[in-house]
Amino acid sequence: MAEERRKFHNIQKVDIHTYKINKKKLKRFDSHLMIFNRILLDENWSGYKRSEREKALKNIKSKAEGYSRIDYALSEAAWTLHDVWLDAFKQDRISRPQESILGSDWYKDELKIKDSSKMSINLKKAAKFFGADLVGIAKLNRDWLFKNWGYSFEPINFKKTIKNVIVLGYEMEEIGLSTSPTAIAGSVTALGYSRSAFTTACLSEFIRNLGYEAYPACNDAGLSIPLAIDAGLGQLGRNGLLITPEYGPRVQLSKIFTSLPLEPDKPIDFGVEKTCRICRRCAKSCKANAISLDEEPTYSSDYKSSSQGTLKWYVDGEKCYEFWCDNGTDCSDCIVSCPYSATPVHVTSEEFWKKI
């Protein structure tokens, strides 16, 4: 299916990334400014200590379509692996209740890699074996690393041996997503996160078993979208999301920073910026009015939770999150409305439960 979707686009491999930066404005992002950290840290924001819970419980009582007890049960269940398995994004080898049948030292010596290109092929096969739909490799541009970790706020200072980043993409199922902004659509997003926890953890262990370092992350550690662009997975859209040839913006991302010798992929260009200049469907569909309708992108904005210095249409994450609170679950309208997504315009909860 993914390969069939790629055929619809005139994809060109290019020698340099497709985004433009202003080095004077570009700074490593401070994790304190992430929306989900500001909920607990920023007393001056109207979203401070707000939660989707405040409306979600009312939704269940009202039995509104797509917001029923069974719909929320699905959504909460879909988060399980991501929220419960805290070792999934551990920075070191994951401890086991029993020693490996190979012993406790076998993985510590580095496997000598004579051909990084062949290793990259095997790495990608392993990634897809563990559940990734998309995988790309890039030389690590440290400008895209956060200043600090998103939970501990400790500085991020990867050793010089960490030269590569592997970016993984997971398709988000289109039928459930098209019920947006219901709890069912929220379950699709949640499942993407749980899938990423499993796949990223397994692939990180694969790399560690070869004797190399692997630092997995989902939304933490670095900006996923520019890293994904560097790795040849897609381009940046007006909606602030990665647009891929295979699935449009219907992808969840994770990444692994590693010392494993690998061959980088080339960035791609299939005309996303040109399309986004004239399309504006995502901006028109956004109930929070968080997406810019301007014709021209800019290098900066007043939005506190947005990284500055890249030429793009900036998205107001504050408005977006506060709509989630008012809605009682997250929203995917900007994904569903995107022409690259190729999703049904709207699916009812009843239709969803019949089709799965």
What is the pLDDT at residue 291? 98
Residue spans of the chain under pLDDT 50:
none
What is the pLDDT at residue 161? 97
What is the pLDDT at residue 225? 97
What is the pLDDT at residue 1? 59
Backbone angle region of 63, left / alpha / beta, with phi > 0 → left and psi within -120 to 50 → alpha: left
Segment (H or E) for 13: strand 12-13
What is the pLDDT at residue 228? 98
Q: Where are the domains of the chain?
A: 2-93+116-346
Integer Cα distance of 77 and 91 in angstroms: 26
Q: pTM score, two decimals?
A: 0.95
Write out pLDDT tens, residues 274-291.
999 999 999 999 999 999
What is the pLDDT at residue 8? 62
Among candidate residues 178, 177, 185, the one with its CA nearest the CA of residue 75: 185
Q: Which two tokens stand for residue 282?
A: 């995502």
Q: Are 152 and 123 in contact (CB under 8 A)?
A: no
Write out pLDDT tens, residues 119-149.
999 999 999 999 999 999 999 999 999 999 9
Three-state DSSP at 283 gives helix
